[in-house]
Each structure stands twice: as C-alpha cells, then as structure tokens.
C-alpha cells in the first residue's frame, strides 16, 4: 500500500514538472529569433505643450516659491530650538519639504522643456458669481 502512494506522488511530481516545462516551451517557441514588431521606442515620446501651459507654469513656480519660504522658516526655527525632540521633528519636516521641492522643480523643468519660450502667468483668481434673484 505504501509503494502505491510513493508511485502516485512521483508520478504527480513528474507530471507537474514536465507540464510546466512544456507550457514554458510553448510560450517561447512561437518566436523564431527575430521579433515581428521592432522594440525600438517611438520617436514621438515628448508630450505636446498644453494650452494652459503659462498658467500651469505660474502655479508651479508659485508653489516653488512658497516651498522655499517654508523651508527657510523651518530651518530658522530649527536653529533656535533647544529641545531635541522638537529639533528632530523640525529636521524631518525640512527633509519632507526639500523632497517636495525637488518634485516641484522637476515639474517646472518638465513644463519648460515641453513648452520652450512660455512665460509664466499668475493664475486667474476665482471670482465669486453674483447671486441671482428669481423674480
């Protein structure tokens, strides 16, 4: 009785091993060595300049300016703090702000690369709509 259990286990293991190898071979044997479509990237990988690029650039540069001001405030506060826990929190905040500044700088550079010659404009302030009175 024990021999048949070992035989079934060996047969199952062999089937699984050869079965998965056959599937792997079938998946790769369809190609003859040269791909049917070229694997070179398209030459048109740069996105087109958006219509509101100057407004976007203005908003992103405004964020960059605000981040630099916040970093300056945090580092100034960090130099005056004497408690080690508070200083550690301020250092962590400064690191987070610098990481965010890196991201914003990359966005500015990306917009300037995609849209050369675009000058930033301040985003239009959302004007409140006057209430309408129903007559």
pLDDT digits (tens, 9 = 90+) for 93-111: 999 999 999 999 998 888 8
pLDDT digits (tens, 9 = 90+) for 22-52: 555 555 655 555 555 555 555 555 567 777 7
**Least reliable range by pLDDT among 8-17, 63-72, 98-107:** 8-17
Report if residue 90 sits inside a domain: yes
pLDDT at 73 over 70: yes
Report if residue 35 sits inside a domain: no
pLDDT at 126 over 60: no
Report if residue 57 sits inside a domain: yes
Containing domain of residue 62, as a range?
53-111
Pick the closest to residue 78 from 89, 69, 66, 67 (CA basis): 89
Cβ contact 91:78 at 8 Å: yes
Report if residue 91 sits inside a domain: yes
Report if residue 120 sits inside a domain: no
pLDDT tier at 112, thresholds 50, 70, 90: confident
Report if residue 95 sits inside a domain: yes
83 sits in the region (left: phi over 0; alpha: psi -120 to 50; else beta) called: beta
What pTM did the predictor assign? 0.52
Report if residue 84 sits inside a domain: yes
For residue 88, what pLDDT is reported? 93
């Amino acid at each position: 009785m024990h021999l048949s259990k070992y035989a079934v286990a060996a047969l199952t293991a062999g089937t699984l091993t050869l079965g998965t190898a056959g599937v792997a071979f079938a998946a790769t044997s369809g190609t003859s060595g040269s791909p049917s479509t070229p694997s070179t990237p398209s030459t048109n990988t740069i996105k087109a300049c958006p219509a509101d690029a100057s407004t976007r650039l203005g908003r992103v540069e405004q964020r960059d300016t605000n981040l630099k001001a916040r970093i300056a405030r945090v580092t100034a506060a960090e130099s005056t703090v004497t408690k080690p826990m508070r200083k550690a929190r301020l250092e962590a905040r400064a690191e987070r702000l610098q990481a965010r500044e890196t991201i914003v700088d990359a966005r500015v550079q990306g917009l300037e690369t995609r849209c050369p010659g675009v000058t930033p404009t301040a985003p239009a302030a959302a004007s409140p709509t006057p209430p309408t009175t129903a007559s």
